[in-house]
């Protein structure tokens, strides 16, 4: 919502908190068949995309999310050649995936084409790989795509979704995880954004339990700052068909592209689990 004198505020009623950004102008607003999308120009965070009243992406801090949702999993998998991005309509995760030369094909499956078209207009820096010959953009239901895909047809699945409500609700359950498990190759890894460890510890715990019960041999969560999301502290959770014993550290150190946040040290430290959450996960 916009509060005088020109602040966008996202309120988190359950947690008695809110996040605000000073707005210079509203650049766009539309209701798609799936959700309401707004674009603002803010005073310090640059362009800001809002979906159904929730902050999605900003010019200022999107690199944190996009780098951490891609590079840790891609350097954990031994040979990630085939990648799916489910959701990710702003195309930032797709861009980071395609910076890896070993990736031979990357399919982005986004249900709402308008998210991508607006990103191309207002966040062009995130969309520079949209025409990479290895990229395929599909505007269909990601849940249906996974159901219909061939077994063992992908190495890494990145679920870059909105919160587990509305169109994204079906991406956080056992039926979806079982289909992902079926589609992944022998060393396949699923990674999914898993909300704030401070606000949503119960969701992270439930994801680990459900991923394990869906057949995955190992699950790991990692943590990173994300200023515009609830609490400013975010997470991703990996589920692997084989035990996660480490990552391709030498390859990560020698990566042929620059990053703003991700590094070997960040990779290692991001998987250190806070004690309050470790206690919840230790019995799984």
- Taking only the tens place, the pLDDT of each residue in 205-253 is 999 999 999 999 999 999 999 999 999 999 999 999 999 999 999 999 9
Q: Can you give the pLDDT at residue 167?
A: 46
**Would you call 282 exposed, middle or buried from its count of C-beta atoms within 10 A (0-12, 13-18, 19+)?**
exposed
Q: Kindly state the greatest CA–CA separation across the chain.
A: 55
- Tell me the residue length of the chain: 284
Question: Which residues are designated catalytic?
Answer: 160
The DSSP letter of residue 70 is: T
At 256, give phi and psi (nearest 5°). -85, 30
The whole-model pTM stands at 0.95
Q: Can you give the pLDDT at residue 16?
A: 95
- For residue range 13-66, what is the model confidence (pLDDT) as tens digits? 999 999 999 999 999 999 999 999 999 999 999 999 999 999 999 999 999 999
Residue 97: closest CA among 146, 132, 140, 59? 132
Radius of gyration of the chain (CA): 18
Residue 250: closest CA among 75, 25, 115? 75
pLDDT grade, residue 1 (50/70/90)?
Answer: low
Q: Can you give the pLDDT at residue 282?
A: 86
Task: Please check the confidence at residue 165 and state whether its pLDDT lies above 80.
Answer: no
Task: Please check the confidence at residue 281 and state whether its pLDDT lies above 50.
Answer: yes
Strands 36-42 and 17-31: antiparallel
Alpha-carbon gap, residue 79 to 74, rounded angstroms: 8
Q: Report the chain's mean pLDDT, rounded to a whole number.
A: 94
- For residue range 87-138, what is the model confidence (pLDDT) as tens digits? 999 999 999 999 999 999 999 999 999 999 999 999 999 999 999 999 999 9
Domain boundaries for CATH 2.30.140.10 within the chain: 2-58
Q: How far is CA 271 from CA 41, 107, 126, 246, 274, in A?
A: 34, 27, 26, 11, 9
Alpha-carbon gap, residue 146 to 149, rounded angstroms: 5
Q: Can you give the pLDDT at residue 164?
A: 54
pLDDT grade, residue 283 (50/70/90)?
Answer: confident
Place of tokens 């309401």: 36
Tokens of 100: 């890896």
Q: Which CATH number fits domain 2-58: 1.10.10.10, 2.30.140.10, 3.10.20.70, 3.40.30.10?
A: 2.30.140.10
- For residue range 181-212, what is the model confidence (pLDDT) as tens digits? 999 999 999 999 999 999 999 999 999 999 99
Q: Which CATH architecture has domain 62-281?
A: 3-Layer(aba) Sandwich (3.40)
Tokens of 16: 């008695």
């Amino acid at each position: 919502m916009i509060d005088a004198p020109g602040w966008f505020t996202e309120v988190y009623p359950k947690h008695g908190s809110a996040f605000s950004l000073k707005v210079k102008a509203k650049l766009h607003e539309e209701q798609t068949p799936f959700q309401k999308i707004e674009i603002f120009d803010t005073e310090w965070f640059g362009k800001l995309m809002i979906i159904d009243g929730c902050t999605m992406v900003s010019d200022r801090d999107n690199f944190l999310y996009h780098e951490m949702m891609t590079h840790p999993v891609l350097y954990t998998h031994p040979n990630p050649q085939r990648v799916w991005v489910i959701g990710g309509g702003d195309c930032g995760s797709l861009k980071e995936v395609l910076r890896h030369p070993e990736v031979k094909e990357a399919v982005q499956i986004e249900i709402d084409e308008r998210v991508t078209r607006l990103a191309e207009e207002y966040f062009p820096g995130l969309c520079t790989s949209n025409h990479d010959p290895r990229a395929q953009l599909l505007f269909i239901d990601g849940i249906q795509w996974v159901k219909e895909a061939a077994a063992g047809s992908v190495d890494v699945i990145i679920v870059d979704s909105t919160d587990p409500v509305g169109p994204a609700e079906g991406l956080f359950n056992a039926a979806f995880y079982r289909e992902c498990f079926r589609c992944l190759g022998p060393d396949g890894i699923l990674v999914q954004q898993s909300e704030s460890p401070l606000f949503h510890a119960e969701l992270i715990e439930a994801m680990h339990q459900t991923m394990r019960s869906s057949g995955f041999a190992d699950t790991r969560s990692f943590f990173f700052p994300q200023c515009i999301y609830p609490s400013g502290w975010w997470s991703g959770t990996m589920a692997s068909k084989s035990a996660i014993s480490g990552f391709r550290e030498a390859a990560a150190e020698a990566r042929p592209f620059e990053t703003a946040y991700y590094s070997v040290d960040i990779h290692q430290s991001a998987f250190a689990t806070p004690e309050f959450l470790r206690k919840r996960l230790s019995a799984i």
